Amino acid sequence: MRKTNWLLLGLALVLSMFLVACSGGGDNNADGGNSEGNTEEKNESEGNEGSEGAEGEPSGEQVLNITDSAEIPTMDPSMATDAVAFQWLGSTMDGLYRLGENAKLEPAIAKSHEQSEDALTWTFKLREDATWENGDPVTAHDFVYAWQRAVNPDTGSEYGPYMMNGVIKNAEAISKGEMPVDKLGVTAEDDYTLKVELEKPIPYFLSLTAFGTFLPLNQDFVEKQGDKFALEADTILANGPFKMTEWKHEEGWTLEKNKDYWDAENVNLEKINVKVVKETSTRVNLYDSGEIDAAALSGEFVQQKAGSEELKTEEEPVLFYLKMNQQHEVLGNVNARKAIQSVINREDLVNVILANGSLPAVGDIPQNFAKHPESGKDFREINGPLVEHNVEKAQEHWKKALEELGKDKVELELLGGDSEVAKEMDAYLKNQLEQLEGLTVNVKPVPFKERLRLDTEMEYELQNSGWGPDYIDPNTFLNMWVTDGGNNKTGYSNEEYDALIEKANNELALEPVKRFETFLEAEKMLIKEDAVLAPLYQRAVAKLWKPYVKGVITNPMGPDYTYKYAYIDKE
Amino acid sequence: MARYITKRLIYMLLTLIIIATFSFFLMKMLPGTPLTMEDKLSEAQKEIILEKYGLNDPVPIQYLKYMGGLAVGDLGISFQFDNREVTDIIMDRIGPSMQLGAQALIIGTIIGMLLGLVAAIYHNGFLDYSSTFVAVIGKSIPSFIFAGLLQYFIALKLGWFPVALWGTWQHTVLPTVALAMFPIAIAARFMRTEMLEVLGSDFIQTARAKGVNKFGVVFKHGVRNALIPLVTVMGPLAVALMTGTLVIEKIFAVPGIGEQFVTSITTNDFPIIMGTTLFFSFFFIFIILVIDLLYGLIDPRIRLAEGEK
């Protein structure tokens, strides 16, 4: 009896082990991981075995091995909201235009376009040789369907209404369910002519057509897939340089060259293997072992790799600043805000705290983002620094503010983030701000969602906040500070400022130079005169790239990278 | 026995309903919405979308709707991963976590038990101190440090195993070793303490006096009696290991579920939070049941079912 019991126990253990192993193995052990797959291919082509880091060995093998920081949340262009989704949509799909070198717009599915006199109607001529992965031609109807779907309230898209309301005719009413979807200002005049009617002239409209939300969709395919659309590699339809051939959720995905792509002759890479790796140290180890060709770094790893020729910093047009709630009696005082602007040492902030190549921010428009339409000079260069680090001057402003307010001691609360970097940053800001005599700063770290709630309800005093552009135009940064703007939330209201923005977007919509100059003026008013924000830094990413990876283009908006022209040169 | 198990299953169901209720209302107290563009959308736009997903209903209505879905086995769809079913997501991710957890548990327990056994037999000797040392190290070094060291030296410098990622059995070796440190430490400590106690008790003396050899005494009489407390702690440990660990999964880039749970909370992905909570709870309750059944096997004195009298 005893013996049988022991046998039973043993059997149960063995069985449970077996069961567990099965459920674990299921779909993951089916085929080899990244490294194995690659070695195999190498053997086929050049016999170049082993580590990829082997130098001086010429190889024509066009395979790029990279990582991304998270699983793709969705491959549905209407539903995409984050960098990962837009990156892979951008690699597998073509819109009317796409971003090329230096953020220049290149015709993609569109061959050319025409604007009407009043700039309200845009007519796009589409190329006739573009096809979907399944052989269907890409037509004007695909754009009509996709754009209607994006604003349709039944879709539940976040970016659709955000990007199209106030831009495409009737989008606002449709997104509220007050008008049928087919009233949207986009029509197919014939299979290869797309007519777009705008609500008002939009000088940056062309850059929108390169954005993920404006990508076309094959109606038959989308409707046939129903709820399953864009959830797996085989429920996606590509029309771009690459197509997704495998997608293992949370583990990684594989893109292969789309042989039927209209511009296939300019696509060099045969394959892109992407693995999800969230930890920086892991990425660095994989990079050092030669398994991956690129690795994004953070803080300490940047210092560790400093001096390496493979280290590149890529500046992004994402701006961070201290938001100051003007409903607070002290922060409502312009001198107090000016004191805060100039007491912070931004050089030390980017070099010591961030140490990843980020730049000090000295205005509300990032560097290398908007160019003067005639001279081509950078917005930032023309307006120059609008804030400076000057403790003496800061003290003067502060003294004046305290006099005006009749106070000698002030306590302010700084809403901080709860991430590792945020904690260091907030401690630094507290230290900098408390140089102002009589000021005490209390840091209150909150999770991101809570910070947003406090921002919306304006229940904060100071907060470290940031903004990334939605299109390439100064308007995306400056428009939000108008009176009662949806994202203003500082209580800032200046009729003159409102008028400038209004003028730039209406009267001057068709006069690019004057419009640009108006934005220059608006920025000065916002930062220098009214001191609405205390700019902190412009974000940059430090990344290791193997020297044989060439032709990868970094974009200021939409997909972070363009791999269309990338190639491997192991000469 | 069958009646006992049925009774336990009914209790399990009740426990799950209570857990679901608590977590639902706790979750609704989280600030924010599941919208990813919360910082950019206007209030009106947010309202329209929340309306579509039924998030504007009063919380009790939302609760009833959710429980209604649960009753027919519908865990809902994720917000974070549009349209993907929660069940699919959990099933996709649980595999690797379970595999690593089970491997670590089995290897860790066996090694830990051996260490504890050796320590008890050679009480206060060199082997005792060394195995205690291993146990202390295993318990006190944070797993991320140990995992990082393994990755750097064993994988990167020596090249014996892959640095990270998932796919072949080789990929599971380092994360398993890193995870196994904890069960090794626990099993060794418990085994040592229990064995010392058991070996000092009267019936062991009797067995010895009767002339049973040392091997027989230790394995036949000692280990079996020392197992009971060990099984008790191993249950929760098994759940903890097999439901995924944030740190190890991140460091070795394992597509497991440990990390998903944390992300879903920070992104307010309500259906995923509920789905994973319920799944983990179910798993935990189930393991407790299995352990209760195991007691009966290990120690015949423990009779679970009163009906068998």
- CA-closest candidate to residue A69, choices A231, A292, A258, A270: A292
Residues in chain B, total: 309
CA distance B178 to chain A (A): 15
Helices (H) and strands (E) in chain A, counts: 19, 21
Report strand pairing: A553-554 vs A561-562: antiparallel
A·B CB contacts under 8 A: 180
- Tell the burial category of B306 from Cβ atoms under 10 Å away from its Cβ (0-12, 13-18, 19+): exposed
Residue at A316: amino acid letter = E
**CA atoms of A554 and A540, how far apart (whole Å):** 12
**Residues A162 and A90 sit within 8 Å (Cβ to Cβ):** no
Q: From the list B42, B260, B266, which residue is nearest A447 (CB)?
A: B266
Name the closest residue on chain B to residue A456, using Cα atoms.
Answer: B39
Name the closest residue on chain A to residue B171, using Cα atoms.
Answer: A33
Residue B5 lies in a domain: no
Residue carrying the six token digits 């949207």: A184
Chain A residues inside the 8 Å CB shell of B38: 449, 452
| DSSP designation for A97 | E
How many domains are there within chain B? Answer: 1
**CA atoms of B159 and B156, how far apart (whole Å):** 5
> CA end-to-end span of chain A, whole Å?
73
Q: What sign does the dihedral B236-B242-B243-B246 (CA atoms) show? A: positive
Residue carrying the six token digits 């005792």: B128
Choose, out of A253, A279, A444, A452, the residue to mutate when testing the contact with B (most B CBs < 10 Å): A279
Q: The domain that contains B168 carries what CATH number?
A: 1.10.3720.10
Looking at residue A31, its pLDDT comes to 34
pLDDT (tens digit per residue) in A448-478? 878 888 888 899 999 998 888 888 899 999 9
- Tell the burial category of B299 from Cβ atoms under 10 Å away from its Cβ (0-12, 13-18, 19+): middle
**CA atoms of A423 and A420, how far apart (whole Å):** 5
Structure tokens at A110: 């569109």
Chain B residues inside the 8 Å CB shell of A295: none
Please determine, for residue A57, whether its predicted confidence score (pLDDT) is greater than 60.
no
* Interface membership of B253 toward A (CB under 8 Å): yes
**B35: Cβ–Cβ under 8 A, 6 or more apart, which residues?**
A158, B41, B46, B49, B50, B79
> CA end-to-end span of chain B, whole Å?
11
In A120-179, the residues whose Cβ lies within 8 Å of chain B are 153-154, 156, 158-159, 161-162, 165, 175-177
Q: How confident is the model at residue A66 (pLDDT cuts 50, 70, 90)?
A: very high
ipTM: 0.84
Q: What is the mean pLDDT of chain A?
A: 86
Q: Which of A113-122, A238-247, B208-217 has the lowest mean pLDDT?
A: B208-217
In A211-270, the residues whose Cβ lies within 8 Å of chain B are 227-231, 248-252
Per-residue b/e over B69-93, b at no fewer than 16 CB within 10 Å? Answer: ebeeeebbbbbbbbbbbbbebbebb
Name the closest residue on chain B to residue A16, using Cα atoms.
Answer: B102
pLDDT top residue among A16 and B284 = B284
Looking at residue B309, its pLDDT comes to 40
Residue B272 lies in a domain: yes
The pair phi, psi for residue A259, each rounded to 5°, is -65, -25
Residue B6 lies in a domain: no
* Interface membership of A71 toward B (CB under 8 Å): yes
Looking at residue B305, its pLDDT comes to 53
Collapsing DSSP to helix, strand or coil, A419 comes out as coil
**Residues A37 and A52 sit within 8 Å (Cβ to Cβ):** no
- Tell the burial category of B286 from Cβ atoms under 10 Å away from its Cβ (0-12, 13-18, 19+): middle
Please determine, for residue A541, whether its predicted confidence score (pLDDT) is greater than 60.
yes
Are B163 and A286 inside 8 Å of each other by CB? Answer: yes
CA distances, B307 to each of B44, B135, B291, B302 (Å): 63, 43, 20, 14
**CA atoms of A548 and A456, how far apart (whole Å):** 47
Dmax of chain B from CA atoms? Answer: 86
Residue at A227: amino acid letter = D
Name the closest residue on chain A to residue B41, using Cα atoms.
Answer: A162
In B19-58, the residues whose Cβ lies within 8 Å of chain A are 30-32, 35-45, 48-49, 52-53
Are A32 and B83 inside 8 Å of each other by CB? Answer: no
pLDDT (tens digit per residue) in A357-415? 899 999 999 999 999 989 989 999 999 999 999 999 999 999 999 999 998 899 999 99
What is the average pLDDT across A309-316? Answer: 89
Q: How confident is the model at residue A513 (pLDDT cuts 50, 70, 90)?
A: very high
Name the closest residue on chain A to residue B152, using Cα atoms.
Answer: A285
Q: Write out A338-383 in H/E/C secondary structure.
A: HHHHHHCCHHHHHHHHHCCCCEECCCCCCCCCCECCCCCCEHHHHH
| C-alpha A373: how far from chain center | 24
Residue B70 lies in a domain: no
Choose, out of B33, B35, B37, B39, the residue to mutate when testing the contact with A (most A CBs < 10 Å): B39
Choose, out of A15, A282, A464, A477, the residue to mutate when testing the contact with B (most B CBs < 10 Å): A282
Type and span of the H or E element at A223: helix A219-225
Name the closest residue on chain B to residue A484, using Cα atoms.
Answer: B42
Type and span of the H or E element at A126: strand A121-126
Q: From the list B36, B99, B164, which residue is nearest A282 (CB)?
A: B164
Per-residue b/e over A419-457, b at no fewer than 16 CB within 10 Å? Answer: eeeeeebbebbbebbeebeebebebbebbbbbbbbbbbe
pLDDT tens digits in sequence order for chain B, 309 residues long: 788 888 888 999 999 999 999 999 998 888 778 887 777 777 778 888 888 788 888 889 999 999 998 888 888 888 878 778 898 888 888 889 999 999 999 999 999 989 988 888 888 888 888 888 888 888 888 888 888 889 999 888 888 999 888 888 888 889 999 999 888 988 888 888 888 888 788 888 888 888 877 777 777 777 877 788 888 888 888 888 888 788 888 889 899 888 888 888 888 888 899 999 999 999 999 988 888 888 877 777 766 555 444
Choose, out of B48, B74, B83, the residue to mutate when testing the contact with A (most A CBs < 10 Å): B83
Looking at residue A131, its pLDDT comes to 95
Report strand pairing: A439-445 vs A410-416: parallel
Residue B155 lies in a domain: yes
Chain A residues inside the 8 Å CB shell of B48: 153, 161, 175-177
In A484-513, the residues whose Cβ lies within 8 Å of chain B are 486-487
Q: What is the pTM of this model?
A: 0.83
Please determine, for residue A58, whether its predicted confidence score (pLDDT) is greater than 50.
no
Residue B238 lies in a domain: yes
Please determine, for residue A64, whether its predicted confidence score (pLDDT) is greater than 70.
yes
Are A453 and B30 inside 8 Å of each other by CB? Answer: no
Query: What are the strands, taking DSSP E only, across A171-240?
Result: 186-190, 193-197
Residue B43 lies in a domain: no
Are B93 and A227 inside 8 Å of each other by CB? Answer: no
Q: From the list B41, B93, B155, which residue is nearest A250 (CB)?
A: B93
Residues of the domain holding B283: 94-308
Are B164 and A76 inside 8 Å of each other by CB? Answer: no
* Interface membership of B208 toward A (CB under 8 Å): no
pLDDT (tens digit per residue) in A21-37? 333 333 333 333 333 33
